[in-house]
Structure 1
Amino acid sequence: MYDRVGKIIAGTYLFYEDISVQEKAKVELIKESFQYHYTRNEYYRNLCEASGITLDDIVTFEDLNKIPLIPIRTFKQPEEESKYLLSVSLDKVENEMRSSGTSGKSSVARRDSDTYTIQQLAAIMTYREFLFRNKGLEVKRGGVYLIPSPAEVQDMGMIKGFTLFGFALHKQEFCVENMELNCDKVLNCLREWEGSLERFILGPPFMVNTFLNYLQEKDIRLQLDKGTKIISVGGWKHHTGEQIPREELYKKCKEYLGVDKCDIRDFYGLAECNPIIFECENNIKHIPPTYHLSIRDLNDPTKEVEEGKEGVVAILDPAAYSYPTFILTEDLGIIKKNVKCSCGRTSDTLEILGRTPKSDLKNCALTLERYMSGKDSSKNMYTNE
């Protein structure tokens, strides 16, 4: 089962197939995953029985929203208590990924070898699909990471997701050292690689904004080449709750880096789930066709809201064997279904609006920013050599 599931999920051909083909593949994979966890996971089977759902109830595409969801905060339980989420024995777990690695309670997602491999393949193929499709090996690339290195912050989901991007890079530099962004180092890399490497700047929006503020303060304006891309993940709010205006950031990227809006790509992902939901050149987030996302009513998560309405994001991810990835997040969003985008892809699309009311589960970027800003309140967010 692993080889077949991995091949379908890691492939991106379904973006170019008819909706009926996409739905058939989605139902097949999710139904198979539901049966797998229902039969192997006592906790999840009890949850299904309490919800009045059996194996016979999940047959068609319309049945997918009947699948019982696990609240994402369940992954924040103490480690001994959270082991009941596993559908494999603990000795099969090869990797732990955490939603925060610097402070507070971590949300822990445990993956066995097959799940971890599929997750990595899916991430790499998503990057390839949206950034490198039909580009030859002659293109050399360099990545400037506005995040700590994996050696400095271990197991944080955001950092692991970003570092998988390394498959496409010939050079890479991590520019957060001792929890401070070294803007001089970022600037030196961008200048040094001019003419020899296609440049990528990778980091959460608050770190991109920090670097732009540094350039603005120093009155430095770069004109990076057309191949340059800015890749972000982690939400568009500071840890204080203050919004990072996207259009304002786009304008600053154009003014101080020479990077157009179409080359600033944000993606959505969670440590607890496998999909990376990436933006195309139209800044539209395309949901991979093998995953099923729906928007649920804030007051009754068993009910799906009408298309185009705001609600809580639910994710049905068939790519995990170690635990059921049928998850009710704490993110607010809007989904448009069966969108035929001018980029050539057909898929459901996702717009993330923020967090649900009274949500206390913070994402990796907010946790990282809170830690960095509190490390020494007398310092700015960036430092110079």
Structure 2
Amino acid sequence: MALELFCHQAEHNKVYATYLDMLKIQVEGIHEFDDIPFLPIEFFKSHQVVTGSWKPEAVFHSSGTSSNVVSKHQVKELSVYRNSFISGFRVAYGAPEGYIILCLLPNYADNPNSSLIYMTDELIKLSGQELSGYYLNQDDDLHKALKAGLKSDKKVLLLGVSYALLDLAERRDLPDMEKVIVMETGGMKGNRKEMVKEELHGALKSGFGVGEIHSEYGMSELLSQAYSKGDGIFTCPPWMRVAARDVNDPLKQIGLGRSGGLNIIDLANVHSCAFIATQDLGKVYADGSFELLGRYDHSDIRGCNLLLAEG
């Protein structure tokens, strides 16, 4: 299916087609998954990356400061995104109806262009629980919700940005959190000093008294998510696949267990581009799981600068 989608997008996605042409890629000569070229994620900042011609139902923006140019992902049908993130959550954690979902995130009304907030908003609704909701900067209400949730027959998922979880973990009046699933979505947003994952998770485990910190891996340019249930190892849903590329030769994939830039196939990106070269660094393992090691910026991927200049 990935090869079929590649051929379709290589023909009907103008940005992707131009990128492939600049690289002198012969589409008809691509017969293996490992030979598919991946579009640098930077193009979502400068171009409308769409397959075909249509009016988007939504446009998701990446997070950023006012001085930064944000990525914009044109989404033809929100139902495709909903099906992807609901199915992905079910694969990783089971039915949302089994959870009380407490979010340390801005609410949807204040962030209508955030794919993360759209996802959590829908999961909150699907949970069907009165306690599920947004609790950023509402410490007393969150404390009450945690205590009530832990007394219920539902699982409690505490999901939030890193700085808000750290702030909460430093409170001394928390209930016993051992049974709470704590999930970070990344992001200090300038509110606290940056920390490597090991340091962050260590502080959260110590503060909350939990054995593992879960993580969500997603971005505005993708319509699928990967999840880690501890140790920083992420697993993908069946329609998402990650591979590593050589940081010095971005068109060359590298072997399992080696550090490189992460390429992602997201078949939910059927209407944009399903083959994305991210700016994340990591390792991919034999079972399809992957580990994040950091990020690199100002990458110079062949054909990228020329096409960006034309934008």
**TM-score normalised per structure 2:** 0.84
Matches within 5 A, 1:81-120: 82-83=47-48, 85-91=49-55, 93-100=56-63, 103=66, 104-113=68-77, 116-120=78-82
Distance 1:281 1:330, change over 3 A: closer
**Secondary structure of the corresponding residue to residue 282 of structure 2:** strand
* Other-structure match for 1:174: 134
**Secondary structure of the corresponding residue to residue 33 of structure 2:** helix
Q: 2:14·2:50 contact (CA, 8 Å) conserved in 1?
A: no
**Secondary structure of the corresponding residue to residue 110 of structure 2:** coil
* Other-structure match for 1:354: 294
Once residues 34 and 89 of structure 1 are traced to their aligned partners in structure 2, the CA distance between those partners, rounded to angstroms, is: 17
Q: Does 1:268 align with 2:237?
A: no
Once residues 157 and 102 of structure 1 are traced to their aligned partners in structure 2, the CA distance between those partners, rounded to angstroms, is: 17
**Secondary structure of the corresponding residue to residue 79 of structure 2:** helix
Q: How many residues align?
A: 295
Distance 1:351 1:95, change over 3 A: same
- State the Cα distance separating 1:159 from its structure 2 match: 1.8
Distance 1:252 1:298, change over 3 A: closer
Question: Mean Cα displacement is larger for which, 148-157 or 101-110?
Answer: 101-110
**Secondary structure of the corresponding residue to residue 209 of structure 1:** helix
Name the one with the larger helix percent.
1
Q: Does 1:203 align with 2:160?
A: yes
Distance 1:126 1:147, change over 3 A: same
Distance 1:75 1:220, change over 3 A: same
5+ residue gaps, structure 2? 300-311
Q: Does 1:49 align with 2:49?
A: no
Q: Which letter maps to 2:73?
A: A
* Other-structure match for 1:222: 175
Distance 1:124 1:102, change over 3 A: farther
Once residues 198 and 37 of structure 2 are traced to their aligned partners in structure 1, the CA distance between those partners, rounded to angstroms, is: 35
Aligned mate of 1:159, from 101, 117, 123: 117
Aligned mate of 2:145, from 179, 186, 189: 189
Distance 1:334 1:241, change over 3 A: farther
Matches within 5 A, 1:289-300: 289-300=238-249
1:220-252 Cα offsets, whole Å, 9 max, x none, are 2421363x2112222689677621553664464
**Secondary structure of the corresponding residue to residue 151 of structure 1:** helix
Matches within 5 A, 1:229-248: 229-234=181-186, 242-246=194-198
Once residues 351 and 121 of structure 1 are traced to their aligned partners in structure 2, the CA distance between those partners, rounded to angstroms, is: 25
Aligned mate of 2:45, from 69, 72, 76: 76
**Secondary structure of the corresponding residue to residue 109 of structure 2:** coil
1:185-243 Cα offsets, whole Å, 9 max, x none, are 22121123331243221112222111112x1xxx32421363x2112222689677621
**TM-score normalised per structure 1:** 0.69
Q: 1:112·1:321 contact (CA, 8 Å) conserved in 2?
A: no
**Secondary structure of the corresponding residue to residue 168 of structure 2:** helix
Q: Does 1:259 align with 2:220?
A: no
Q: 1:220·1:256 contact (CA, 8 Å) conserved in 2?
A: no
Q: 2:166·2:203 contact (CA, 8 Å) conserved in 1?
A: no
Greater relative CO (CA pairs within 8 A, separation 6+)? 1
Q: What percent identity do the matched residue pairs reach?
A: 23
Q: Which letter maps to 1:41?
A: N
